[in-house]
Structure 1
Amino acid sequence: MLFGFTFRIEYPILTCHCCTYIGALQGTAGVMSSQRSCGAVVLPPSRCRAGFCAAQGRDIHLYFRLHPQLIERALPGASPPAGLRCTPRRCGRGVTDAVITREEAERIRRIAERGLSLGGSDGGASILDLHSGALSLGKHFVNLYRYFGDKIRDIFTEEDFALYRDVRQRIQQRIAQAFGISPAVLYLTKPTFFSRINTTEAKTTHDEYWHPHIDKVTYGSFDYTSLLYLSDYAEDFGGGRFVFMDTDSNKTVEPQAGRVSFFTSGSENLHRVEKVRWGTRYAITISFTCNPDHSIGDPVLT
């Protein structure tokens, strides 16, 4: 029921006509070079799986998307819901070295190192979430703000959190620019977290980071995913590359400090991370949603 009108939603018509890719590179190599580029590189996925554009799920959103002319005739002047102005209509992915500098990435990494020094997983994958306070500790997680109390102010500074917010905002703006939406309708969502991966054998399923997955399935609120890499492939660690698993061939991103990878979070971007063979890999996952009900605020040092 929409303002007194009842519409029937025909789910079988939700095919890839609503997912057009955000550009294409002719002759793009399967592996993103470790050489730093001067701008964003946009890679087209090999396919857009049916139903991705329906992932947001509400009938009113689907009908605005699929039948805007009927909506206009039934309700002259009606505008799409706020979430739909952000909901991905174009599947895609991008990589850029032009948003965050290497020096900024190194400063962000030091924030992660200091926070993770308070705990760490018994296995090879540890996380630190400054928003919720979640910190890997042994085989479990603790809330570092409660667990360590006032000691947190000896670990983090207001300047750390200000840099964190600034980096998040610039990545948000770059994603909005790439996908042709307003940053104002793109909301930070959970989980947004630091990760530290080394060669220690996995002790729990939380340590098994290498399995292929779809972010929208794993984290229902995700509409756009970004990763800021904080260490260098082949210098700080081996393995640990990010792999988009396309039907024709894999597309691989080699992490470099300051490199940002971003993509729509649906099934068109199935991906995995290679097992780290040596060294330690640092990154931060920064996720965004179109639904303000799923938004979170920036972390605050209290």
Structure 2
Amino acid sequence: MAPQRRGAPKAPEGSGAAGRRRPNSTKHVRAAREVRRKWLGTTILGACAVLAGLLLWSSRGGDDDVTEVLAHHREILPGRFIEVPCSEDYDSHRRFEGCSPRKCGRGITDTVITRDEAQRIRSIAEKGLSLGGSDGGASILDLHSGALSVGKHFVNLYRYFGDKIQTVFSEEDFQLYRDVRQKVQLTIAQAFGINASSLHLTKPTFFSRINSTQAQTAHDEYWHAHVDKVTYGSFDYTSLLYLSDYLDDFGGGRFVFVEEGANKTVEPRAGRVSFFTSGSENLHRVEKVHWGTRYAITIAFTCNPDHGIADPEFM
């Protein structure tokens, strides 16, 4: 016969031992549940905070190496100028007294070009770029040379499209382009204390349209830091006219002046003009565009008349 199993001895009835154990056990269970609830709540809050931070970073499109915003997209600046020491880049080029940079720096203004003018000049870019566009998301349109991004290459839109150009653009478009260029030229001359007539438009001066499409060629990799005077020897003064709004039309895409440990940025705003001397004192880059479409026009000036180009003429 199988041995009988003995259970745990029962507490004497009415002794109260069993009754004392049950409440203590219940308290431990409740305490454990409370700890789990608090831990879960803390974990969820932490995860939400991390997610919110990631979403904020993504929506702003910001790089974590930017330490100062020189111009916020919501503010309207009558004019802001920051002087910086000139680099030696200009010493290896022919100097033109009264024009070649002796005073170097960077400026921003929102009162030279109206938002209406910015919208109208953006429509010129939209019409021209509708004829082509890069496969890699960074497209250019140069009304001077006729260069237009198409797929992975460039074409001369005046030769490629011929008489069709007259149905795309108008004389009013080109006149507006010339007027805006002249306003930017006067702004730069006043900021640096030089005669506007000593400045000459130079190449490349072009519209840019950037979206988040992955780069297909080296021409699409617009985000690398560079020096305009090194890249384009003719540049003495560089300007950008923004034709769309940061965080309204696109995310990322801020303009960044690269400085050791203290990068500074300009947030684009339609009608905003950002300008600077073109040497190494203004090493810069553009952040990658994460969403939307960023429109701008780069307008460059030289002090050397041999490197000057004429305004585009309507055909």
**If the TM-score is normalised by the length of the shorter chain, which range does it land in?**
0.7 to 0.9
Give the TM-score normalised by structure 1.
0.80
The reply to whether residue 162 of structure 1 matches residue 178 of structure 2 is no
Note the C-alpha offset of 1:246: 1.4
Write the mapping of 1:143-292 to structure 2, written as runs, cut at 5 A: 143-292=156-305
The offset of 1:43, in angstroms, is 2.0
Q: What residue ranges of structure 1 are gaps of 5+ in the alignment? A: 1-27, 62-82
Name the residue aligned to 2:74: 35
Q: In structure 2, what is the Cα distance between the partners aligned to 1:153 and 1:54?
A: 44
- 8 Å contact 2:77–2:108 — kept in the other structure? no
Whole-angstrom CA distance in 1 between matches of 2:311 and 2:180: 11
Whole-angstrom CA distance in 2 between matches of 1:155 and 1:172: 27
Cα distance, 1:255 vs structure 2:
0.3
Displacement after TM superposition at 1:90 (Å): 0.8
Name the larger-Rg structure: 2
1:52 matched residue in structure 2 = 89
Deviation track 1:30-76 (CA, whole Å, cap 9, x = no partner) reads 3421123241111234x544x234142x4xx4xxxxxxxxxxxxxxx
Looking at structure 2, the residues matched to 42 and 294 of structure 1 have their Cα atoms a distance apart, in angstroms, of: 27
Task: Please give the TM-score of this superposition, normalised by the length of structure 2.
Answer: 0.77
Cα distance in 1 for partners of 2:194, 2:237 equals: 12
| Alignment partners' CA distance in 1, 2:272 and 2:174 | 20
| 8 Å CA contact retained: 1:237, 1:279 | yes
CA-to-aligned-CA distance 1:233-262 (integer Å, 9 cap, x gap): 000000000000012411100000000000
Would you identify which runs of 4 or more consecutive aligned residues in structure 1 move more than 6 Å? none
**Distance in 1 (alpha carbons) for counterparts of 2:234 and 2:283:** 16
Partners of 1:186 and 1:247 in 2: how far apart? Answer: 31
Local SS of the residue matching 1:235: coil
- CA RMSD, aligned part only? 1.3
Q: Judging by fraction of residues, say which structure has more helix.
A: 2
Identity %: 71
Number of residue pairs matched? 249
Aligned runs of 1:130-149 on 2, under 5 Å? 130-149=143-162
The Cα offsets for residues 117-152 of structure 1, whole Å up to 9 and x where unpaired, read as 000011010000000000001111000000000100
1:120 and 1:42 mapped to 2: Cα distance? 35
Gaps of 5+ in 2: 1-66
